[in-house]
Structure 1
């Protein structure tokens, strides 16, 4: 009887829950517990369970040859990951090439450079699609340190292979040369008592002091673009997988996964003029003239101000007859004395590869006076409403036969005289707050002198000395003179971890970091996220023309808007280091720029 009763109750229960009653009653219960719609509820449940699913891993790397902003070949790296058992394309990055073929180079040189670039890009594509694709498979894209460690080991092995091949080739050449040498015949001896006659003629001109020879160029391993391109692509993939912007991902990597409460935006060094040589003569002291907006302006306001100055400069250079002569100083900071009427710089009607106007000039003062006039015409004052930075590119000025810098055609100055000249320039034009590469990196003594003389008045920046980030990481003194800061460029075998480590070292030494855009730039805007995430003081992107340049300024504006919206934006401060007063307390080592006068 008991068994029959149990069977009857079971049949009643089955009838009760038959049909649509089960899902309806489940939904009622769930709605009581969680006031969400069924779709939202199931979505929340999926998100909750996804935390316990397998983390996305790299399943494929794809490398391909593409064109950069000036039509030269470069490398693109794509990252594919396995996400919830499905292969998914996550992101891609396009590398920039640091090398730029000179415009006045010989045809043979141009052909050789183009062949070398094609070879290195083709080799990089091969590395990505074969070795790196296999090596990094099944790694998590968020594990940047492990990926970069493996990339570094792979690159080191390639360097060793290259050295081994070179040694074998040298040994073979020596053996061939030894076999081909004719038998040696003794040379006639000089009669006793008779000295060898000295060569007659004019005495060769000797420099006042022997200059250090130029350091040999750092060799670039063919295919090294693959290392930098893959490391950056992995960083972008890690940010995408973590659902955060790349700059936040970089900041977490730098601060050991602790998110900074506030972030600063790097101040833009916007290139206004690219001062190219007008003939076969050497460059004339200034390669780039850059504008730096004051820190009190938002980035958007600063860019708009630079655009206004650019428009007025274009108008003046295209219509020199309409330009009034520079006015004498009225006592305000930033005004220079009128050095007399001079013809206007020659204007070239084209945009440089740097995305700015090109011009030629007779001397630096002439150029600066024209810029003062342009600012005055639109109601701005240099040194108050906007500042200047000058890229001197001194390594392009050295005449090694004379041992001096040729600052103008036929005008030569020794390294010591260059220091004195810059002192006079900054005194006369105090609105110049940064000099980039005012001397060669080899002139270390003069770098120390200029930093002691001008370090409290402007930034003395090394760019040419800091191109090899991986070597700076292991030895911060290599090729780097005493300076206020360095320009870092993400090129060749640079890895994200290297960049993070080097900027950490520079921060500890109270150096400023500037992220710089290479000559052969691409449309990839990752450089901006790197600069923000690393906390760089400045960013050097070129001018406000050309798509590959403007894309990065637009990205910078977007980040500013996002940080301001989230109230994570901290105001930047500009401070100069007084190198001559190193014995002073820490809080007296710097001089802050005066704030611009705002209405």
Structure 2
């Protein structure tokens, strides 16, 4: 049995330049691993709490020295000597030390990197790739396969610059493409979109998740840009690729109505449902994420009843990787897919439990990054090991996004059997 001999936390920076937490673990067998915590910009009120220092004289109040101290002073003594392959036991220690339903004592940004580092250490001590370790440990998939990527090519809302109401505009390759071909499609669509923006003298700076953040008049303009970009590629709309939206409707929900720039009058939930149906007719929308506010359960249920035969209805802020909220959504048929973000709940064990509930309910599983990422590529392995259908790691640029895509490429190569040459030997001469 391997044992944890060292566990240390420190403050590092995420992709936004905000402080976050990195954890180092060493084992008595010599293995060493690190893990770091991502952070969200657009966060649901039901997700686990990040602990920030609040000292406005340092890092704009965003420092994480309190979270680092919680790990080094409170968590570390309890995990030294523990077997890293006992993930449930380690996570139960973290759960008990915090003792709150939303991780508000120690903070999800303290708990998650510790839990992730323990998981990495467990895989390291049994000399197994992370994705295969997760598959063998939890048994949530029979066939290891790299999920289909969802590319966020245009950033709006909280991820843009106040340029659009909807937060993300997605390009989604068909699921029958191998990952390397799907990634190529995403890269070529990104390049084509950049050329379209340049040709229109539009601002082609990027948002926090790597997608372009142009100033546009309406949300439909963003979809039209994607259509124009697609025409510059060899790909066929509705065959090779589809579009998706993350509305992040919490940000457009005001006084019981939904307000977007596409029309002057606010939308009721019923009117917004009809608007989404029109979008699906025109743009063949494959997936709709957070189409309504996180507690507008009736609107979610109505939309799912009307559109789920044609569109994947994805809960992010609605569900926040939370067991109780997912069980409610399953019972009420409020959506058909879940966005899985480990830092929304705090530990790997809790995240796995949510994935299992989703799979048992035949929900699609989409493993997602956060807007504030690091180069930690754990979630790429997690997506494969859990048997997720999709990943959402942002645009195919910026190191913190590309790290995940490159890890998926590596996993794909490991899962692809090496084919021996089949050319027959020449017949012997007489």
Pair in the same fold by TM > 0.5: yes
Q: 1:298, 1:221 → 2: CA distance?
A: 43
Q: 1:99, 1:312 → 2: CA distance?
A: 28
Partner of 1:135: 78
How far is 1:528 from its partner?
0.5
1:429 aligns with 2:283: yes
Q: 1:466, 1:413 → 2: CA distance?
A: 23
Q: 1:366, 1:543 → 2: CA distance?
A: 19
1:73 aligns with 2:19: yes
Partner deviation per Cα, 1:309-356 (whole Å, 9 max, x = no partner): 221211111112xxxxxxxxxxxxxxxxxxxxxxxxx83232221012
Partner of 1:353: 208
Given the alignment, which residue of 170, 173, 177 partners 1:293?
Answer: 173
SS at match of 1:366: helix
Given the alignment, which residue of 317, 338, 351 partners 1:464?
Answer: 317
Partner of 1:542: 394
Q: Would the alpha carbon gap of residues 537 and 240 (structure 1) be closer, same or farther in structure 2, given more than 3 Å must change?
A: same
Q: 2:61, 2:315 → 1: CA distance?
A: 27
Partner of 2:426: none
How far is 1:358 from its partner?
1.2
Partner of 1:263: 144
Given the alignment, which residue of 367, 372, 379 partners 1:520?
Answer: 372
How far is 1:129 from its partner?
1.5
Partner of 1:370: 225
How far is 1:444 from its partner?
1.4
Q: 1:71, 1:279 → 2: CA distance?
A: 16
Q: 1:473, 1:240 → 2: CA distance?
A: 33
Partner deviation per Cα, 1:510-560 (whole Å, 9 max, x = no partner): 111111111111110001111111111111101111111111100011111
**Higher RCO (CA-CA < 8 Å; seq separation 6+):** 2
Q: Is the 8 A contact 2:292 2:300 kept in 1?
A: yes
Given the alignment, which residue of 113, 138, 145 partners 1:254?
Answer: 138
Q: Is the 8 A contact 1:355 1:546 kept in 2?
A: yes
Instruction: State the TM-score, normalizing by the size of structure 1.
Output: 0.63
Higher Cα Rg: structure 1 or 2? 1
Q: 2:179, 2:204 → 1: CA distance?
A: 28
SS at match of 1:562: helix
Partner of 1:195: none
Partner of 1:554: 406
Q: 1:359, 1:301 → 2: CA distance?
A: 27
How far is 1:222 from its partner?
5.2
Q: What is the root-mean-square deviation of aligned Cα atoms in Å?
A: 2.8
Q: 1:508, 1:277 → 2: CA distance?
A: 33
Instruction: State the TM-score, normalizing by the size of structure 2.
Output: 0.87
Q: 2:371, 2:15 → 1: CA distance?
A: 9
Q: 1:549, 1:58 → 2: CA distance?
A: 30
Given the alignment, which residue of 124, 132, 141 partners 1:240?
Answer: 124
Q: Would the alpha carbon gap of residues 418 and 221 (structure 1) be closer, same or farther in structure 2, given more than 3 Å must change?
A: farther
Q: Is the 8 A contact 2:194 2:204 kept in 1?
A: no
How far is 1:124 from its partner?
1.8
Partner of 2:327: 476
Q: Would the alpha carbon gap of residues 554 and 385 (structure 1) be closer, same or farther in structure 2, given more than 3 Å must change?
A: same
Q: Would the alpha carbon gap of residues 80 and 435 (structure 1) be closer, same or farther in structure 2, given more than 3 Å must change?
A: same
How far is 1:492 from its partner?
6.1
Q: 2:365, 2:273 → 1: CA distance?
A: 23
Q: Would the alpha carbon gap of residues 319 and 555 (structure 1) be closer, same or farther in structure 2, given more than 3 Å must change?
A: same
Q: 1:506, 1:390 → 2: CA distance?
A: 21
Q: 2:315, 2:190 → 1: CA distance?
A: 26
Q: 1:310, 1:234 → 2: CA distance?
A: 36
Partner of 2:427: none
Q: 1:456, 1:474 → 2: CA distance?
A: 22
Partner of 1:315: 195
SS at match of 1:555: helix
Equivalent pairs counted in the alignment come to 407
1:379 aligns with 2:234: yes
Q: Is the 8 A contact 2:152 2:394 kept in 1?
A: yes
Q: 1:110, 1:460 → 2: CA distance?
A: 40
Q: 2:181, 2:72 → 1: CA distance?
A: 44
Q: Would the alpha carbon gap of residues 110 and 264 (structure 1) be closer, same or farther in structure 2, given more than 3 Å must change?
A: farther
Q: Would the alpha carbon gap of residues 464 and 391 (structure 1) be closer, same or farther in structure 2, given more than 3 Å must change?
A: same
Q: Would the alpha carbon gap of residues 547 and 373 (structure 1) be closer, same or farther in structure 2, given more than 3 Å must change?
A: same
Q: Would the alpha carbon gap of residues 536 and 286 (structure 1) be closer, same or farther in structure 2, given more than 3 Å must change?
A: same
Q: 1:137, 1:110 → 2: CA distance?
A: 31
Gap regions ≥5 residues in structure 1: 1-54, 102-108, 161-217, 321-345, 568-599
Partner deviation per Cα, 1:272-315 (whole Å, 9 max, x = no partner): 111358999x7744221111111222111111122222212111
